[in-house]
Amino acid sequence: MLLDAAQSQLVLVDYQANLMPDIFEGPLVVGNAIRLGQLARLMEVPVWGTEENPSRLGANVAEVRVLCVQTLSKMHFSAVEEGLGEWLRPRPKVLSGNARSLPRHLQKPVTVAPERNSVVIAGCEAHVCLLQTTLDLLEDEFDVWVVTDACSSRTERNRDAAFDRLAGAGAELVTTEMVAFEWLRSAEHPAFKAALALIK
């Protein structure tokens, strides 16, 4: 199954200023997270961020934070425990007040955004917040794609153990370029040249 930009959302997990200096291959990981966010914006894919205990670990690095529609501050390791699922799959708004008493032709229609069930996710630390968030998203029946070259932990061993466990749980393991070219699908895509410039 290929990723479809129209059905995708991007979640960038905990690229926090006080954490990143200790992360294995940190600069490479942040660079790929920024690239993912830029690609998502180019192809109109919503981008969400999370920050673990920001009073201690700081905000996400500015280049990541600016790409996000919203950033969820959390204390649980799984962002789903703190409401990320509601952001990714919002409930339709219920009409309130006197709107229901109006004749049907005068009522405003309830617009439901098309469901985007494919969650592309990347972040730190891979074996803690990324892992727990992804496992909860899978349990909530999202299709989850973990971008391996935009994820890491303080140690390579912890990062790789997370990837093994996530693959076993049903997450798809991909790279930044795989996501980009699957979202594009064709060299005739209107965003192809701009996306290629970001990839190179």
Catalytic residues: 14, 74, 129
Q: What is the C-alpha to C-alpha distance for residues 143 and 88, in angstroms, rounded to an integer?
A: 12
Q: What is the C-alpha to C-alpha distance for residues 147 and 91, in angstroms, rounded to an integer?
A: 27
Report DSSP state, residue 79: G
Reduce the DSSP state of residue 64 to 3 states and report it.
helix
Is residue 136 within 8 Å of residue 161, measured between CB atoms?
Answer: no
Helix axes 192-199, 176-184, angle to 10 degrees: 170
Element (H, E) at 30: helix 26-42
Q: What is the C-alpha to C-alpha distance for residues 40 and 91, in angstroms, rounded to an integer?
A: 23
Q: What is the C-alpha to C-alpha distance for residues 130 and 162, in angstroms, rounded to an integer?
A: 9
- Nearest alpha-carbon partner for 163 in 142, 179, 144: 144
Is residue 11 within 8 Å of residue 87, measured between CB atoms?
Answer: no
